[in-house]
Amino acid sequence: MLGNVYKWIVKDMIETNDLSKQFNNEFWAVDGVSLRVQPGQILALLGQNGAGKTTTVRMLTALLSPTRGWARVGGYDITKNPQEVRSNVGVLTEQHGLYMRMTGEEYLDFFGEVYDLDPKTRKLRSNYLLEYFGLAEYAHRRSGEYSKGMKQKLALARALMHDPSVLLLDEPTSAMDPESAQLVRNEISRLRSSQRTIIICTHNLAEAEALADRIAIIYRGKVLLNGTLDELKRDVLGPVEYEARFAEEFDAGDLDLPPGVTLAGRSATSLRFRIEAPQIVNPKLVHALTSRNAPLVSFQEVPRKLEHVYLKTMADAQGVPYAA
Amino acid sequence: MRRNLRVIWMVARREFIDQFRDWRIIVPMLLLVTLFPFIADDTTRQAVNFMNRFGGDLILDNLVPFVVLVIGFFPLSFTLVVALESFVGEKERGTIEPLLSSPLEDRHMYFGKLLVGITTPLVFSYASIGIYLFLVSRRAVEFPSGYMLALILLLTFAHAVLMVSSAIVISVQATTIRAANLLASFVVVPVAFLLQGETVLIFWGNEDVLWFAIVGVTLLAGLLVRLGLSHFRREYLLGREIDTINIKWVWRTFRNRFAGNARSISEWYRKELPITLRQLRQPLMIVVGLAFVAGIVSYMWVVMNVPAYFDLTPDRITEIRTFVAGNLTNLDTLGERLPAPILFYHNARTTVAFLLLGLVSFGTLGLTLFLVNMALVGGVLGAASLVGFSPWVVFAVGVLPHGIFELSAVFLATAAMLKTGAQLVTPQADKSLGEMLLVSLADWFRVFVGIALPLLAVAAVIEIYITPILIKLAIS
């Protein structure tokens, strides 16, 4: 209840400040993580294995207490109100964690009971989720007989069983076939549009790019980058580049470039420009080219993927050259 | 309360479902329950025939209760399997994390799993006992009394709680079933010894003596339940991924606690040791109080019961007094026969033995051994008074001179041991069991090295070189 009220009053459903965790008084698994995620937002946590993503998620689930800093999830302090935090969070753990001798239906019913749902609601929710994830046909089979993808879907259904306002998903589509992965991504998108707050830990950069509103890259427990995809691209890879392709050789010569545009590269049939403010400059640049009778075939942004951002960030962090 | 029970049952119910669908648990249990009573019945028949041929009524009378105890114990060995499966198994398979991420409280999970760990093997155990008793009832063998059977059933229950609670403590420490199985020998071996001790009680004691075993096992089981509960925390369960020995960390934790902030030995004595001693005030009061009670009770028991056993007539008393007086010269060569360093070593070893026993029993066995020693002092004084010596004089010349040092050392070390045991079963939010153990040990070593050893050294010198002179002066 308080979580729902909080959602309307406060912007951030997940808020961490200097969140840190040290193990054995020597190893900092998470070191000074400060994040904010609003209702209806998806944050993708990216990083190598052992970077601190799982420890961060475990702290946000009030499974581990922070050594330093604090965090609030759904308005509840993870240290002071751990029970309330857990009630409001749905977690998909790194391992699916299914009880192999329980049927899918029994499993969801058990977790519904754990989250204090009444029998009628449990039945409704479990039927809906089994149906949605295409598991209804196998509801009475023991989960040990499920395929990897089915297990993952059942685990996700478990995380959604109590309809939580915050979802922490660790590799939600791993081991899934493309159709199932698409189904899960659609569900995540649907949850976002119903104002759920979601954190996804993933190694699947394409998925993060497709789903996330914000992206945070963690390296050795520290957040190296945190922002929207566009912000990260601009910060890491520099201004946007546009490429003009020509039907035949075109000598740009003393082409008069508008302010805010620099020539980044050229070939006989193409020119590449680095542009600070494309919305303002691009029309002028296209005009400049066409007024010189350039045989323009296409003028488009050079695709820059999250993968480039991630790899360059990691290369910089490790002090090794980044080969694009 | 009702909600707590409902949640505990919810956790337990799921475990029951899981368990009863696992043939690896159910099939061997069923085999044990159904086959073993028949084997035991046949063994009983053969033993009875053997005894009838060669005599041995005492053993024969108690044979059936003994077999009942053993038969009840076999299915209980599954408590370890069930408990380890339920805790470490869940950890290893990763099924515990979704459960820990839920709003369930730690104690609900703990008691739910404890309930399952105890119930299934116990039901099988009682079923096995039932089958055996049915078979026995058809033979011409003396059927154990209802009272004896009730005691054995109670003892079997206490065994189940003891083993499950021990297994849970192990499970919390281990991260793999393999590691947990290796650690389980720390449960199986002591419980096997315990069973042997109880067998002795059944064969050579009377029925009522079994109460000592029941109370002892229940007490230990209760302490283990508390220990398990205090360390069954999400943080601890998920904070460790692999079982590695970090010697550096172990040494650093111990050293930091032992040395504290002191930069020199004198500073350590002035600043650090008093902190530990202040913390010992309460256990020290308990130890001194119990020592006093043990001494008095033992003194009174000897004074009231020994004369009847030994027929202490005036002639016999004179004979003993003459014997004692005649042997006083032996005290002159005490230093040669028992050099002070050997006595010091012996006393130091005894103090360490208190600690070791205390560690495996959360203070109870260490305290018991200590009280036995104090009872010996009371008994000796009682015996002295029976043969006409003043117990006050004997105490003043035979105990007090070195006892001021020795008893002080032993009292303090025992109090530190008791505190160690108590700390282990006390919930500590920020410390693991290992860390808690290291810190407690460091505290004990502070007292042992800083106070007990020097006092024991002084006491040994006095006991060998001064006490004998005082005894001779007083008695001759």
Tens-place pLDDT, residues B73-130 = 888 877 787 778 777 888 888 888 899 999 998 889 989 988 988 888 899 999 999 9
- Rounded Cα distance, A21 and A30, in Å: 5
Residue A65 lies in a domain: yes
User: Are residues B279 and B203 located together in one domain of the fold?
Assistant: no
Kindly state the average pLDDT of the residues B468-475.
Answer: 82
Kindly state the average pLDDT of the residues B128-133.
Answer: 92
Confidence of residue B293 (pLDDT cuts 50, 70, 90): very high
A152 CB within 8 Å of a chain B CB: no
Residue B244 lies in a domain: no
Confidence of residue A9 (pLDDT cuts 50, 70, 90): low
Give the range among A32-36, A78-82, B82-86, B463-467 with minimum mean pLDDT. Answer: B82-86
**Which residues on B lie below 8 Å from A159 (Cβ)?**
98
Residue A76 lies in a domain: yes
Least CB–CB distance from B104: residue in A97, A98, A114: A114
Selected residue with higher pLDDT from B151 and B139: B151
pLDDT of residue A97: 86
User: Are residues B288 and B180 located together in one domain of the fold?
Assistant: no
User: Are residues A87 and A220 located together in one domain of the fold?
Assistant: yes
Selected residue with higher pLDDT from A7 and B213: B213
Last residue of a domain, one of B187, B211, B239: B239
**Which residues on B lie below 8 Å from A87 (Cβ)?**
103
User: Are residues B354 and B401 located together in one domain of the fold?
Assistant: yes
Closest residue of chain B to A106, computed from CA coordinates: B14
pLDDT of residue B457: 94
User: Are residues B169 and B301 located together in one domain of the fold?
Assistant: no
The residue segments making up the domain with residue B395 are: 249-475
What is chain B's mean pLDDT, rounded?
A: 84
Cα B469 from chain centroid (whole Å): 39
Residue A312 lies in a domain: no
User: Are residues A106 and A155 located together in one domain of the fold?
Assistant: yes
Residue A180 lies in a domain: yes
Residue-wise pLDDT tens digits, B420-470 = 888 777 766 667 777 888 888 898 999 999 999 999 999 999 988 888 888
The identity of residue B380, as a single letter, is: V
User: Are residues A131 and A280 located together in one domain of the fold?
Assistant: no
Residue A308 lies in a domain: no
ipTM surpassing 0.85: no
pLDDT of residue A2: 53
**CA distances from residue B107 to A77, B79, B162, B234, B314 in whole angstroms, order as listed:** 21, 19, 18, 11, 65
> Which of B19, B85, B97 is the best substitution to test chain A (most A C-beta atoms within 10 A)?
B97
User: Are residues B359 and B230 located together in one domain of the fold?
Assistant: no
CATH number, domain containing residue A85: 3.40.50.300
Kindly state the average pLDDT of the residues B290-316.
Answer: 85
Q: Return the SS3 of A64.
A: coil
A61 CB within 8 Å of a chain B CB: yes
Q: What angle do CA B53, B55, B56 make, to 5 degrees?
A: 135
pLDDT of residue A7: 54
**Which residues on B lie below 8 Å from A97 (Cβ)?**
93-99
Residue A307 lies in a domain: no
pLDDT of residue B203: 79
In chain B, what percentage of residues exceed pLDDT 70? 96
Kindly state the average pLDDT of the residues A134-146.
Answer: 91
Kindly state the average pLDDT of the residues B232-250.
Answer: 71
Q: Contact, B119 vs B211, CB < 8 A? A: no
User: Are residues B204 and B325 located together in one domain of the fold?
Assistant: no
Residue A247 lies in a domain: yes
A145 CB within 8 Å of a chain B CB: no
What is chain A's mean pLDDT, rounded?
A: 88
Kindly state the average pLDDT of the residues B17-36.
Answer: 84
User: Are residues B76 and B222 located together in one domain of the fold?
Assistant: yes
> Which of A22, A84, A114, A174 is the best substitution to test chain B (most B C-beta atoms within 10 A)?
A114
Q: Is the pLDDT of residue A172 over 90?
A: no
Last residue of a domain, one of B239, B267, B301: B239
pLDDT of residue B59: 61
Last residue of a domain, one of B239, B263, B287: B239
Residue B180 lies in a domain: yes
User: Are residues A252 and A111 located together in one domain of the fold?
Assistant: no
- Rounded Cα distance, A46 and B460, in Å: 67
B433 CB within 8 Å of a chain A CB: no
Residue-wise pLDDT tens digits, B388-416 = 888 898 888 888 999 999 999 999 999 99
Last residue of a domain, one of A203, A227, A251: A227
The identity of residue A75, as a single letter, is: G
User: Are residues B232 and B254 located together in one domain of the fold?
Assistant: no
Q: Is the pLDDT of residue A5 over 60?
A: no
Least CB–CB distance from B239: residue in A23, A83, A99: A23
CATH number, domain containing residue A276: 3.30.70
- Rounded Cα distance, B468 and A292, in Å: 121
Selected residue with higher pLDDT from A321 and B467: B467
Confidence of residue A215 (pLDDT cuts 50, 70, 90): very high
Q: Which two tokens stand for residue A109?
A: 């019913």
Are A101 and B96 a contacting pair at CB < 8 A?
Answer: no
B251 CB within 8 Å of a chain A CB: no
pLDDT of residue A308: 87
E strand or H helix at A27, and its extent?
strand A27-37
Residue B442 lies in a domain: yes
Kindly state the average pLDDT of the residues A110-127.
Answer: 94
Residue A323 lies in a domain: no
Number of H helices, E strands in chain B: 24, 0
pLDDT of residue A303: 84
User: Are residues B234 and B272 located together in one domain of the fold?
Assistant: no
Q: Contact, A110 vs A157, CB < 8 A? A: no
Residue B16 lies in a domain: yes
- Rounded Cα distance, A197 and A180, in Å: 22
Selected residue with higher pLDDT from A163 and B421: A163
User: Are residues A16 and A127 located together in one domain of the fold?
Assistant: yes
Q: Contact, A31 vs A220, CB < 8 A? A: yes
Kindly state the average pLDDT of the residues B25-51.
Answer: 84
Kindly state the average pLDDT of the residues A104-117.
Answer: 94
User: Are residues A268 and A222 located together in one domain of the fold?
Assistant: no
Which of A231, A267, A232 lies closest to A252 in space, CA to CA?
A267
**CA distances from residue B284 to B291, B406, B414, B419, B473 in whole angstroms, order as listed:** 10, 15, 8, 9, 34
Q: Which two tokens stand for residue B256?
A: 């930091």
How many Å lie between the alpha carbon of A266 and the closest alpha carbon of chain B? 54
What's the total number of domains in chain B? Answer: 2
User: Are residues A112 and A260 located together in one domain of the fold?
Assistant: no
Torsion of CA B422, B423, B427, B433, to 10 degrees: -120
User: Are residues A104 and A156 located together in one domain of the fold?
Assistant: yes
User: Are residues A194 and A84 located together in one domain of the fold?
Assistant: yes
Global confidence as pTM = 0.74
The residue segments making up the domain with residue A138 are: 2-227
The DSSP code for A222 is: E
Residue B119 lies in a domain: yes
User: Are residues A109 and A202 located together in one domain of the fold?
Assistant: yes
User: Are residues A8 and A73 located together in one domain of the fold?
Assistant: yes
Q: Is the pLDDT of residue A163 over 80?
A: yes
Least CB–CB distance from B97: residue in A24, A93, A115: A93
Q: Is the pLDDT of residue A237 over 90?
A: no
User: Are residues A162 and A251 located together in one domain of the fold?
Assistant: no
User: Are residues B163 and B210 located together in one domain of the fold?
Assistant: yes
Kindly state the average pLDDT of the residues B9-17.
Answer: 90
**CA distances from residue B361 to A213, B209, B412, B417, B435 in whole angstroms, order as listed:** 56, 21, 19, 11, 18
Confidence of residue A17 (pLDDT cuts 50, 70, 90): very high
Q: Is the pLDDT of residue A128 over 80?
A: yes
**Which residues on A lie below 8 Å from B97 (Cβ)?**
63, 91, 93-95, 97
Kindly state the average pLDDT of the residues B326-355.
Answer: 83
Q: Is the pLDDT of residue B61 over 70?
A: no
What's the total number of domains in chain A? Answer: 2
Residue-wise pLDDT tens digits, A240-291 = 889 999 998 888 777 788 888 888 888 889 999 988 888 888 998 888 888 8
Last residue of a domain, one of A227, A259, A292: A227
Confidence of residue B241 (pLDDT cuts 50, 70, 90): low
User: Are residues B232 and B265 located together in one domain of the fold?
Assistant: no
User: Are residues B232 and B257 located together in one domain of the fold?
Assistant: no
pLDDT of residue B359: 80
B243 CB within 8 Å of a chain A CB: no
